[in-house]
């Protein structure tokens, strides 16, 4: 299953944050030991949804939209959920951080899952790193790797 980490971040809002860029790249590299992974930035929600519609595959990508009103999971629960998606034959998993003002009702309805990292608000650059770490943690849990010690 190929994993893509995406974020809606207009160019005017992007800032160079070398520490978070390095952390994100490190986690994408780590994820790559378990599954192909890349990262994409989109200007708008519409651009992301269009990209999802045009993306190749026999079945549509399983799309996880990060949303403060979404389902909250422990790391183990999230790993079990992603494991079921993977084992169910999903070819692509897209995890997306939304626009600053939240997802539209259309995007929320199209999502396979609305997922929340919690009730806190994070800047996009930091949220991308936290999401990437959780994806890496998920894959290590599924592989019974000792990275996740259960606390």
The pTM for the full model equals 0.93
Confidence of residue 149 (pLDDT cuts 50, 70, 90): confident
Asked whether residue 24 carries a pLDDT value surpassing 80, the answer given is: yes
Dihedral pair phi/psi, residue 57, rounded to 5°: 140, 150
What are the domain boundaries of the chain? 2-142
Looking at residue 55, its pLDDT comes to: 84
Q: Please state which CATH number belongs to domain 2-142.
A: 3.40.1280.10
Q: Which of 54-58, 95-99, 135-139 has the lowest mean pLDDT?
A: 54-58
pLDDT in tens, 88-134: 999 999 999 999 899 999 999 999 999 999 989 898 899 999 999 99
Tell me the two tokens of residue 13.
């809002």
DSSP-based helix, strand, coil % in the chain, nearest 5 = 45, 20, 35
């Amino acid at each position: 299953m190929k994993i893509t980490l995406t974020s809606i971040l207009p160019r005017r809002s992007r800032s160079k944050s070398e520490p978070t860029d390095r952390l994100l790249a490190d986690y994408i590299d780590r994820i790559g030991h378990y599954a192909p992974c890349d990262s994409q930035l989109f200007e708008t929600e519409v651009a992301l949804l269009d990209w999802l519609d045009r993306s190749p595959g026999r079945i549509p990508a399983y799309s996880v939209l990060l949303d403060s009103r979404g389902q909250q999971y422990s790391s183990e629960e999230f790993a079990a959920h992603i494991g079921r998606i993977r084992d169910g034959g999903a070819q692509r998993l897209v995890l997306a951080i939304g626009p600053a003002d939240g997802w539209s009702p259309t995007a929320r309805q199209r999502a396979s899952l609305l997922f929340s990292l919690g009730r806190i608000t994070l800047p996009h650059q930091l949220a991308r790193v936290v999401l990437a770490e959780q994806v890496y943690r998920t894959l290590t849990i599924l592989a019974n790797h000792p990275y996740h010690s259960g606390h």
